[in-house]
Amino acid sequence: MLRVAWRDVRFHPVRFAMSVLAVALGVAFVAGTFALRAMLSSTFDGIVATTVEGDVYVVADNGTPFTPAWMAYLDEQGKVPDTLVPAIDALDEVRWVYADYTGPVLLVGADGTRVSSGQAPSMAWIVDDEAIITDQGFKVTGEVPRGPDQIGLESRTADKAGLKIGDTTIVIIGGQAPREVTVTGIATSGTGTPFAGAVVVGMDAATAKAAFAPTGAVPMIVVRGVDGISQDKLAAAVAAVLPPEANATVKTGDTMRTEAKESIDENLGFVSTFLMVFAVIALFVGAFIIANTFSMVVRQRLRETAVLRAVGASRRQVFTSFVTQAAIVGLIGSLLGLAGGFGLVAVIRSVFEAMGMALSGEVPVTTTGVAIPVGLGVAVAMVAAALPARRASRTAPVEAMRPGSDDSQRGATVRGSIGAAMTLAGIGCLVAAHRAAEDGGPALGAGAGLILLGLIVAAPALAPAVTWVLAVPVAAVSKPFGTLAQRNLARNRRRTASTASALMIVMALVGATTVLASSVRASVADLIDAQLDSDFVIDGSASMAGVPAAALDDLAKVDGALVMMVSVTTAVVTPDGSDPKVVELGVMHPEAMTRGFAPDLADGTREAFTDGVAVSVPIATRYGLKTGDTLEVTLAKDTPMETTAELVVQVVYRNEAISTDVLLTETTARTLLEPDVYSQVVTAVQGFVVLDPGADPDAVRAQLVDAVAGYYTISVMDADEFSSFLSNQVNQILYIVYALIALSVVVAVIGVVNTLALSVVERTQEIGMMRAVGLGRGQLGWTMVIEGVLVALLGAVLGISAGVAIASVVPSVAWSTGLGVVSVNWLTVASLFAGVVVVGVLAAVWPAVRAARVPVLQALVYE
Amino acid sequence: MTPDGAAPIATTTGLTKVYGKGEAAVHALAGIDLELRAGELTAIMGPSGSGKSTLMHCLAGLDTPTDGSVWLAGEDLGAMSDRALTAMRRTKVGFVFQAFNLVATLTAEENIVLPLQLAHAKVDTEWFDQIVDVLGLASRLKHRPSQLSGGQQQRVACARAMVTKPVVIFGDEPTGNLDTAASRDLLGFLRHSVDELGQSLVVVTHDPGTAAFADRVLFLSDGKVVDDLANPTQATILARLGTDAQTDVQDDAVTNAQVQDDAADMSTRATVPPPPHVGRATNADVEQEL
């Protein structure tokens, strides 16, 4: 029986090619995901190994998990005073020690533009002790930088910037004004990609301290022991000299490296989960295609099966024969997919490289990275084939001999009822989710799942009716062909349904994404319309440093307009009787609430917001806060500059337009924090500009542009530009999602091609007879095209309706995050349908050509 | 030229069809010169492999001759493109096959008018009604093929073949899958269409009972016309078959013994032997489980 199974695969390559392709695409996704994850992981491991190079670390005693130095300034991490350094340096066990002053640095390249690091940071590196750099595995050419007018560069950064030793250029360190500096040295790593494409600018400790830690509070102090000392022994020695009031703790390098890897893996976990979702969809859709192929193969081979049964093959043998074929298909597809997946990762790597992020090493081939995708591919193929194979083995030999036995209609009503019930339950869940608003998340998820599953289950029952409705216009215009195509689909409703189901899932995804995207855009536009009252917006979010303090001074001097900055910092709020909660806290210009920026208020008045605190509706609801209550706010938490104040809640606002949950006025924040501390922990991100009456907008804009011109990363926009700027950010994410969906679409299209091509084989006699009575080749092709379009539209109608319905509820659930408006762009939805029609036509081309090539006579004398 | 002076519906000159090449070459048709007359029912008989189906396929433009020419309804088929041949099949030729005659998804009525729709032609309602009436299909028009008996299905096929008023209808074993009564009905109708409606018909068969309905029987053997019998009766056909030294039609010999040599008695006695269905017979007793 094995030989029979193998021969069949060998002699019908086309029949199985589609299944192989479907498996290959699904597996390529899975293999690519694993390989990408492994590659990212090894890249970051390399970074950890080169950047977490100390034997012992002194960090804040707050139990926050460690994040690597170059991520530290992004995070609300505790800080330790650099005053601990001399005592540690005095120890005999210590080779060197430094306080890690680091933060964002903007480097201007030889061409006069900012050196971009893509998604990687652009940061400072303390390099004033050559021994430290050498210990980190770098070789220095030139001199290490001394003083604020000199910098050193990591070799890759130097290449990217086109700078060499002796060149002068501009840097902006932290929030400082742009400064001209000279490149004195370049450090080349012995290993491949030490900073994964980050822009790394070396400077001496004093320069970095002035910019990033004027108060002397640093995320960590790095210690290297003398040769031969163990990390534990060194840690004990360091711990002994730490004063108890420093709130500092000692961790060994190994602990830090482990924590760093864990934190990186956690972040990468999200990326691979995201990719895995698409891999699962591709495999799921692939499974439909395989199941389809095999149910057709089974039908075609019924006679042969009957002969096999008649000559003594048992049920089990017939079943095994089909499942073995599936395994062969699965294995070939998986191996191809594996190669494709690795190719995909190679492409991704070159794309990353082009964007400035270097990933280390070759595409990793690990045992799990190979075994899991291949195992999955084979398993999916076998499971998908099992059902049709079971049907084949159950067929009585005599029954199989009879021509035209049609087994696809049974159970349609039962399935239809169950599916309808599930879909209705799903709709119920969506309604419940809509009512429950914020707490509707689980109901939304359940609703989405139930609707999609329900539609898949009900699809065979729905297929004839839906395609009939869809075919009405075609049938009217193109007399026999619309009817012929629709009836062909209705005849094999199960196959039609499973083909359409694959497309349905993909289209649900597309539909939902489209609605979410247009809702986000509409929400943004809506908010800007309703709540943003300013003439210009200044945006500094392109740089980690935000709008530097020096620029703020220039902006304050602009004539004819009021510039109101919005800054952010991390704070801890402790409502009465509740646990402390870490929040992002907004610091607003005192007049921002009354001029230029108008969030809807739930409680209080704009004028009332002076020396107290404003909280968002979700925070107020959760902690039962109303105006007049007090809220404990801690700024610069876990640093030596920590400040806590009891503030009166003066305003409760709806926070659609503001991403922060708690607001202070700038006056209040400056009262609470020393100027040095303020400049270290508060980052100005955006500014709203309101013109004085009668002021000339163009003149003001010119002044604004002038004020920020030297900072490279700050832009000045009017309200329209700001709106499209925000939309573009949404679009960028969308493009990635669409690219991933596009791959799933390809799999689904292959499903349609597969179904049509196999139905051509199945209908050879009918086609021959119709050709004999005068069906032209063009007419035959046209019929196939209509069939393809109808299947595609069936999937699209079900999928897009489900996707749109599900996505429409998301804003109700997620309104507190600013997604307040449901917007279905019907033009986009219409163009989706148009796209689906094109997909259907394209899918029909090859089967139509195949059908037209069938010689009339061969079709007639077939069998 | 036919006796009454009408133009022939089909003419072949040196018609040759060779399958394969070199030593493996099979001469399905070995030079056939033939004239088929209008208004006649012509039967083509011969043992399996004699080339009778190939001859019909070439006459109908379904197959391309290796050599020689075929003229159908005054046109040279050899000079026609696939498109022209398709148009020709739509308008000038009708077909009735042994099986797989109908589109399973279309109703009887839709099947009948299919060639007209393919040609974007109007349905001649009067003619349609007449055919349907003669064939007794009026009450079955809304049924799908699966809801019709074998005889009804073949009658629908006949109606479809006639609806375009073709120059000639080709039948390839049209009664091959039917029982005795259904065969008789169908043949009766075919005879009627020739006599009353002037339809020209060419039928390929290996059943003498069927051939006896014809005006003329052509006997084929090894790709050549070996005999041409006018106004045949079952007796003359059987006699002709009996004297054929090369005959290998065992089935017909068996039929020979069962059928009375009386063509006039055909209406009650004609048998159309069931086509050999080896597969079905062999497996009938192999039930279910092993």
Provide the pLDDT confidence category of residue A425 given band limits of 50, 70 and 90.
very high
Contacting residues of A for B77, CB less than 8 Å apart: none
A310 to B89: CB separation less than 8 angstroms, yes or no: no
Decide: helix, strand or coil at residue A203: strand
Residue predicted with more confidence, B146 or A276: B146
Q: How far is A849 from chain B (nearest CA, A)?
A: 15
Q: Does A774 sit within 8 Å of B118, measured CB to CB?
A: yes
| Residue A558 banded pLDDT, cuts 50, 70, 90 | confident
Residue A528: partners with Cβ closer than 8 Å, 6 or more residues away: A657, A719, A722, A723, A726
What is residue A642's predicted lDDT score, i.e. its pLDDT?
Answer: 80
Cβ–Cβ contact A12 with B under 8 A: no
A772 contacts B86? CB cut-off 8 A: no
A620-635 confidence digits (pLDDT tens): 888 888 888 888 888 8
A717 pLDDT tier (thresholds 50, 70, 90) = confident
Residue identified by tokens 């950064």 is A157
Are the CB atoms for A208 and A174 separated by under 8 Å?
no
**Cβ B160–A490 below 8 Å, yes or no?**
no
Q: What is the pLDDT of residue B287?
A: 35
Condensed to tens digits (0 to 9), the pLDDT of residues A152-174 reads 998 888 888 889 899 999 888 88
**Per-residue pLDDT band at B266 (split at 50, 70, 90):** very low
**Average pLDDT value over all residues in chain B:** 77
Q: B127 and chain A: CB distance < 8 Å anywhere?
A: no
Going from the C-alpha of B204 to that of each of A9, B42, B199, the distances in angstroms are 39, 9, 16
Determine which helix (DSSP H) or strand (DSSP E) holds A686, and give its type and residue range: strand A683-691
Q: Does A766 touch chain B (CB under 8 A)?
A: yes
Pairing mode, strands A179-189 and A138-142: antiparallel
**A201-211: average pLDDT:** 88
The number of C-beta contacts closer than 8 angstroms across A and B is 102
- With beta carbons under 8 A apart, name residues in chain B contacting A856: 62
Least confident interval from A207-221, A537-551, B130-144: A537-551
CB A565 within 8 A of CB A708: no
Look at residue A529 in the predicted model and tell me its pLDDT: 73
Band of residue A858 on the pLDDT scale cut at 50, 70, 90: low
Q: Chain B 41-100, CB below 8 Å of chain A: which residues?
A: 53, 57, 60, 62-63, 82-83, 86-87, 89-91, 94-95, 97, 100
| Residue from B93, B103, B148 to probe the interface with A (highest A Cβ count within 10 Å) | B103
User: Could you give the C-alpha distances from B34 to B7, B40, B183, B218, in angstroms and in order?
Assistant: 13, 14, 28, 10
Asked if pLDDT for residue A805 goes beyond 60, the answer is yes
Contact flag A860-B103 (C-beta cutoff 8 Å): no
**B39-58 pLDDT tens trace:** 889 999 888 878 888 888 88
Report d(CA A348, CA A29) in Å as an integer.
Answer: 12
Higher-confidence position of A525 and A108? A108
Residue A120 gets which letter from DSSP?
A: S
- Taking CB atoms and an 8 Å limit, are A773 and B100 in contact across chains? no
Residue B154: band (very low, low, confident or very high) from pLDDT cuts 50, 70, 90: confident
CA atoms of B249 and B263, how far apart (whole Å): 20
Categorize the per-residue pLDDT at A358 as very low, low, confident or very high, splitting at 50, 70 and 90: low
pLDDT at A472 over 50: yes
From the list B91, B100, B290, the residue facing A314 with the nearest CB is B290
Say if residue A784's pLDDT is above 50: yes
For residue B109, the chain A residue with the least C-alpha distance is A480
pLDDT of residue B241: 76
Residue A92: φ, ψ to 5°:
-70, -30
Whether the predicted pLDDT of A433 surpasses 70: yes
Tell me if A775 and B283 make a contact (CB, 8 A cut-off): no
**Per-residue pLDDT at A332 exceeds 60:** yes
- Mean pLDDT calculated for residue range A528-552: 77
What is the spatial distance between Cα B220 and Cα B225, in angstroms, rounded to a whole number?
5
3-state helix, strand, coil in chain A (%, to 5): 60, 15, 25
Q: What is residue A816's predicted lDDT score, i.e. its pLDDT?
A: 58
Instruction: Find chain A residues with C-beta within 8 A of B284's C-beta.
Output: 398
Q: Express each pLDDT in A718-737 by its tens digit.
A: 878 887 787 777 777 777 77
Helix/strand/coil (H/E/C) assignment for every residue in chain B = CCCCCCCCCEEEEEEEEEECCHHHCEEEEEEEEEEECCCCEEEEECCCCCCHHHHHHHHCCCCCCCEEEEEECCEEHHHCCHHHHHHHHHHCEEEECCCCCCCCCCCHHHHHHHHHHHCCCCCCHHHHHHHHHHHCCHHHCCCCHHHCCHHHHHHHHHHHHHHCCCCEEEEECCCCCCCHHHHHHHHHHHHHHHHHHCCEEEEECCCHHHHCCCCEEEEEECCEEEEEEECCCHHHHHHHHHHCCCCCCHHHHHHHHHCCCCHHHHHHHCCCCCCCCHHHHHHCCCCCCC
Q: What pLDDT, on a 0 to 100 scale, did the predictor assign at position A303?
A: 67
A312 touching B, CB under 8 A?
yes
B143 neighbors B153 (Cβ within 8 angstroms): no
Long-range contacts of B71-75 (CB under 8 A, 24+ apart): B71/B10, B71/B11, B71/B12, B72/B9, B72/B10, B72/B167, B72/B168, B73/B9, B73/B10, B73/B167, B73/B168, B74/B7
Name the percent of chain A lying above pLDDT 70: 86
Q: Where are the extended beta strands (E) located within A704-761?
A: 715-718
Residue A829: CB partners within 8 Å, gap ≥ 6? A511, A514, A800, A804
Residue A592, SS3 per DSSP: coil
Of A658, A659, A680, which Cα lies nearest the Cα of A669?
A680
Q: Where are the alpha helices (DSSP H) in A493-633?
A: 493-531, 549-556, 617-623
Print burial letters for B115-136: b (CB count within 10 Å at least 16), e (below 16).
bbbbbeeeeeeeebeebbebbe
User: CB distance from B122 to chain A under 8 Å?
Assistant: no
Contact A836, A742 (CB under 8 A): no
Q: C-alpha dihedral over B146, B148, B153, B158, to 10 degrees?
A: -130
Which pLDDT does position B249 carry in this prediction? 43
Q: How far is B53 from chain A (nearest CA, A)?
A: 10
For the stretch B71-117, pLDDT in tens is 888 888 888 888 888 888 888 888 888 776 788 788 889 888 888 88
Confidence of residue A111 (pLDDT cuts 50, 70, 90): confident
| Residue A15 confidence (pLDDT) | 67
Taking residues A296-324, what's their average pLDDT?
Answer: 75
Asked if the Cβ–Cβ distance from A479 to B117 is below 8 Å, we say yes
Q: State pLDDT tens for residues B165-217.
A: 888 999 888 887 788 888 888 888 888 888 888 889 999 988 888 888 888 99
A751, pLDDT greater than 90: no
| For range A316-324, the mean pLDDT | 82
Of B101, B117, B283, the CB nearest to A306: B283
Interface check for A487 against chain B (CB to CB < 8 A): the answer is yes
pLDDT per residue over A757-777, tens digit each?
877 877 777 888 888 888 888
Q: A181 falls in which pLDDT band (50, 70, 90)? A: very high
Contact yes or no for B83 and A401 at CB 8 A:
no
Q: How many Å lie between the alpha carbon of A797 and the closest alpha carbon of chain B? A: 24
A381 touches chain B (CB under 8 A): no
pLDDT tens per residue across span A64-101: 444 444 444 344 567 788 888 888 888 888 888 888 88
Over residues A369-391, the mean pLDDT reads 84
Please tell me what DSSP assigns to residue A226: P
Which member of A396, A856, A860 has the closest CB to residue B288?
A: A396
Is B130 an interface residue toward A (CB < 8 Å)?
A: no
The verdict on A764 touching B (C-beta cutoff 8 Å) is no
pLDDT band at B290 (very low <50, low <70, confident <90, very high): very low
Give A65-91 as a 3 state SS string: CCCCHHHHCCCCCCCEEHHHHHHHHCC
| ipTM, interface predicted TM-score of the complex | 0.70
DSSP string, A360-378: PSSPP--HHHHHHHHHHHH
CB contact under 8 A, B118 and A491: no
Alpha-carbon gap, residue A23 to A595, rounded angstroms = 59
Top pLDDT among B284 and A382 is at A382
pLDDT of residue A319: 84
Distance separating alpha carbons of residues A675 and A666, to the nearest angstrom: 12
Subunit contact A480:B117, Cβ cutoff 8 A: yes
For B83, the closest chain A residue by CA position comes to: A776
